[in-house]
């Protein structure tokens, strides 16, 4: 169910046997045939997964009159039960009909079975056509197509349909330099059409119209259905994993692979076949704005992914338990959402004001964390602080505060890290060019779980409004600023790093001028004096202190290690969320980091040559750590939250690595 670009007065409905119909929004009772290709479509009958499965208008329609469809048809090859096809057709009358004789075939993919087709297609914000392909069946992927890069099955694909026929490869695709893949798996050479891999049956997915995030619902096998937030070059696990759990971990390609866990999942006690939806960005006044909504075909339940409401990791929030067989969602040009029942009816989603159980205030001035009459100022009682080695935030200047419940203290752990009591809030202002851009709140809820909230400042600098679900917005000067979603906050504020980043002995052991009194004092001594540290820290001079990476009076080695600690070690440490074994904490000796002179587990995916190492002593050019810092594509580090390379940081790490004579 979809609308053509710029035309909210007409809906197009795909029928699985091979017919597309349309009706005017003002008179939905009268339907017209857009195209009928039943004679070409392999439907297979009621209950089959095959048929006419996807359609997308060219973004410039009707100026560009092409409409793209995904359907299954009967294979002419003996022993191949079915083929998936992507074709374009032309509309010569502005969207009233499609010329069935104008078909131009872009892509065909032979399948081992008639299920796991995928079939959704859509244009991304980059103007490229995205195609979701299932692994082709049978159930447990014995061919391991989800992990095999020599086939397009089990992948999200991305192609350029505005160049030479039948299509061109976007140059930023992970394997863009390879020859196009044939209709069947080949023996070598990753398919350049691949955007991301590791899918079983991506059944309905969409782009967030606000920030471009790609949300994919991947149908599970035996126990788990999952929602993936998909990025360029990502591997989402099937069939090494089902959801966030091992499924066939000894299969080809699983050992050493960087597998990305789903952001949400549910087990088969709640449903058995996930149906992807959309992030709500419509005009209704609801706390579910910015949340991804999805459903289950078998149980009829509709959920939203609200990470701060999760009662267990990755568990979504149920919104409705219906008796519908929900096969798809639709999104109007106005952002409103619709539900398609496989038995025929179409429904529009109407939100109740209390739906979502999200009590985060819409305005920063209402949070209690700032002065309500001047939200640029922290509320009375918040404690300002600064750190020695700040995290790179695309060139922004930052101000920081902490707030604790009355009578509570900060626990100082044996490794110098700090643990905050339930009810604590950390606040940070971001400024570029002196203007407030964003304020982030990071709260430890009463149940001990952490949650993040992002607020965007208005042009007049009088208040900031919450950004639900994250966004990427132009802040002027040619810079696109990333407002993180709630789940993205926790991607960086990892549990392995204790969630509250930067708040540790070595980071806060420094002088600070307190604006309330204009007095300058050591932060550890001040916090100890007001009895906030347990156990107490009586002698700050005896405690470790990191250098500022930009302070050239400190040693090059210590500056570089402080930079890696702040920007990398929240993930790259023991029990961190990556498959890498690197430990980039400041206190870990270089020889023990499992990075120095160590070959990358996933191989040389940057093309650095036979001498590629995570850190190659004496050669930053052969070091993946330095090279990943210097890019903002699917191979970048950090992999999220930044659009701008830290040139000074890259120069620092490059100078340090080039000067290393060894790992001692």
> Could you report the per-residue pLDDT of 580-590, keeping only the tens digit for each?
789 999 999 99
Q: What is the 3-state secondary structure (H, E, C) of 302-353?
A: EEEECHHHCCCCCCCEEEEECCCCEEEEEECCCCCEEEEECCCCEEECCCCC
pLDDT in tens, 404-458: 999 999 999 999 999 999 999 999 999 999 999 999 999 998 888 888 999 999 9
Task: Using DSSP, state whether 80 is helix, strand or coil.
Answer: coil
Q: How confident is the model over 213-217, as a mean pLDDT?
A: 97
Q: How confident is the model at residue 355 (pLDDT cuts 50, 70, 90)?
A: very low
Lowest mean pLDDT among 14-23, 33-42, 254-263, 644-653: 254-263
Task: Using DSSP, state whether 292 is helix, strand or coil.
Answer: strand
Element (H, E) at 450: strand 450-457
Q: What token pair was written down for 210?
A: 């606000």
pLDDT in tens, 56-89: 999 999 999 999 999 999 776 656 678 999 999 9
Burial profile 455-482: b = 16 or more Cβ within 10 angstroms, e = fewer: bbbeeeeebbebbbbbbeeebeeebebb
Q: What token pair was written down for 512?
A: 């600070």
Q: How confident is the model at residue 579 (pLDDT cuts 50, 70, 90)?
A: low
Lowest mean pLDDT among 153-167, 409-423, 476-490, 585-599: 476-490
How many alpha carbons lie under 13 Å from residue 569 in its C-beta half-sphere?
A: 22
Could you tell me which of 73, 118, 70, 131 has the C-alpha nearest to residue 238?
118
Question: What is the residue whose two structure tokens read 């209950």?
Answer: 47
Helix, strand, coil percent content, the chain, rounded in steps of 5: 10, 35, 55
How far apart CA 30 and CA 17 sit, in angstroms, is 20
Q: How confident is the model at residue 356 (pLDDT cuts 50, 70, 90)?
A: very low
* Cα three-residue angle 282-286-290, rounded to 5 degrees: 60
Residue 305 near residue 264, CB atoms below 8 Å: yes
Mean pLDDT of the chain: 93
Q: Which pLDDT score is estimated for 578?
A: 73
How far apart CA 305 and CA 641 sit, in angstroms, is 20
How far apart CA 130 and CA 423 sit, in angstroms, is 43
Residue 313 near residue 330, CB atoms below 8 Å: no
Q: Which pLDDT score is estimated for 354?
A: 46
pLDDT of residue 395 exceeding 60, the answer is yes
Q: Which pLDDT score is estimated for 350?
A: 95
* Cα three-residue angle 352-353-356, rounded to 5 degrees: 85
Q: How confident is the model over 568-595, as a mean pLDDT?
A: 90
Q: Which pLDDT score is estimated for 387?
A: 98
Q: How confident is the model at residue 93 (pLDDT cuts 50, 70, 90)?
A: very high
The domain segmentation of the chain, as residue ranges, is 2-312+329-348, 364-542, 556-659
Lowest mean pLDDT among 227-236, 369-378, 488-497, 618-627: 488-497
Q: Which pLDDT score is estimated for 638?
A: 87
Instruction: Please tell me the pTM assigned to this model.
Output: 0.67
Question: What is the residue whose two structure tokens read 């996933």?
Answer: 602
End-to-end Cα spacing for the chain: 62
Cα diameter, the chain: 84
Multiple choice CATH, 2-312+329-348, 2.120.10.30, 3.30.70.270, 3.30.360.10, 1.10.3720.10: 2.120.10.30
* Cα three-residue angle 653-657-660, rounded to 5 degrees: 145
């Amino acid at each position: 169910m979809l609308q053509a670009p710029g035309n909210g007065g007409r809906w197009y409905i795909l029928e699985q046997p091979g017919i597309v119909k349309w009706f005017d929004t003002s008179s939905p009772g009268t339907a017209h045939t857009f195209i009928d290709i039943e004679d070409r479509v392999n439907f297979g009958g009621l209950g089959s997964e095959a048929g006419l499965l996807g359609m997308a208008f060219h973004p410039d329609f009707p100026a560009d009159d092409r409409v793209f469809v995904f359907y299954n048809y009967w294979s002419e090859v003996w022993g191949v039960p079915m083929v998936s096809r992507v074709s374009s057709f032309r509309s010569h009358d502005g969207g009233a009909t499609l010329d069935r004789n104008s078909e131009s075939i872009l892509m065909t993919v032979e399948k081992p079975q008639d299920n796991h087709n995928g079939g959704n297609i859509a244009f991304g914000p980059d103007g490229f056509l995205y195609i979701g392909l299932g692994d082709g069946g049978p159930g447990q992927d014995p061919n391991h197509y989800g992990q095999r890069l020599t086939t397009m099955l089990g992948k999200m694909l991305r192609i350029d349909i505005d160049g030479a026929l039948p299509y061109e490869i976007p140059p930023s695709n992970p394997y863009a330099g390879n020859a196009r893949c044939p209709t069947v798996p080949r023996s070598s050479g990753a398919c350049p059409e691949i955007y991301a891999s590791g899918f079983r049956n991506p059944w309905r997915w969409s782009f967030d119209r606000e920030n471009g995030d790609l949300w994919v619902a991947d149908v599970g096998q035996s126990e788990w259905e999952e929602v993936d937030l998909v990025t360029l070059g990502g591997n989402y696990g099937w069939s090494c994993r089902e959801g966030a759990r091992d499924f066939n971990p000894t299969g080809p390609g699983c050992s050493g692979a960087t597998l990305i866990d789903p952001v949400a999942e549910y087990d088969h006690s709640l449903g058995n076949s996930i149906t992807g939806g959309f992030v709500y960005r419509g005009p209704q006044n609801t706390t579910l704005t910015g949340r991804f909504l999805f459903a289950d075909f078998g149980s009829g339940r509709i959920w939203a992914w609200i990470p701060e409401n999760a009662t267990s990791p990755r568990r979504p929030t149920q919104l409705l338990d219906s008796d519908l067989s929900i096969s798809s969602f639709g999104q109007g040009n106005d952002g409103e959402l619709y539900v398609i029942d496989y038995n025929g009816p179409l429904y529009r989603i109407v939100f109740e004001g209390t739906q979502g159980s999200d009590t985060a205030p819409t305005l920063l001035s209402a949070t209690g964390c700032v002065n309500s009459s001047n939200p640029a100022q922290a509320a009375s009682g918040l404690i300002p602080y600064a750190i020695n080695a700040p995290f790179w935030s695309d060139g922004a200047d930052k101000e920081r505060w902490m707030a604790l419940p009355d009578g509570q203290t900060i626990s100082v752990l044996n490794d110098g890290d700090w643990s905050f009591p339930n009810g604590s809030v950390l606040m940070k202002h971001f400024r570029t060019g002196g203007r407030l851009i964003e304020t982030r709140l990071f709260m430890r809820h009463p149940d001990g779980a952490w949650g993040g909230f992002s607020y965007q400042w208005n042009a007049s600098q009088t208040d900031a409004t919450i950004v639900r679900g994250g966004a990427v917005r132009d802040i002027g000067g040619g810079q696109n600023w990333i407002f993180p979603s709630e789940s993205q906050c926790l991607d960086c504020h990892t549990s392995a790093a204790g969630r509250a980043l930067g708040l540790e002995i070595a980071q806060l052991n420094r002088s600070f001028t307190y604006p309330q009194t204009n007095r300058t004092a050591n932060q550890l001594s001040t916090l100890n004096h007001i009895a906030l540290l347990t156990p107490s820290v009586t002698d700050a001079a005896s405690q470790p202190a990191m250098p500022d990476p930009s302070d050239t009076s400190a040693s090059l080695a210590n500056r570089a290690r402080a930079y890696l600690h702040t920007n990398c070690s929240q993930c790259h440490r023991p029990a961190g969320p990556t498959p890498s074994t690197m430990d980039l904490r400041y206190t870990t000796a270089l020889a023990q980091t499992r990075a120095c002179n160590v070959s990358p587990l996933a191989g040389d995916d940057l093309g650095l040559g036979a001498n590629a190492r995570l850190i190659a002593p004496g050669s930053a050019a052969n070091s993946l750590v330095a090279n990943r810092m210097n890019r903002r594509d699917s191979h970048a580090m950090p992999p999220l939250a930044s659009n701008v390379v830290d040139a000074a940081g890259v120069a620092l790490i490059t100078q340090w690595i080039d000067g290393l004579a060894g790992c001692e």
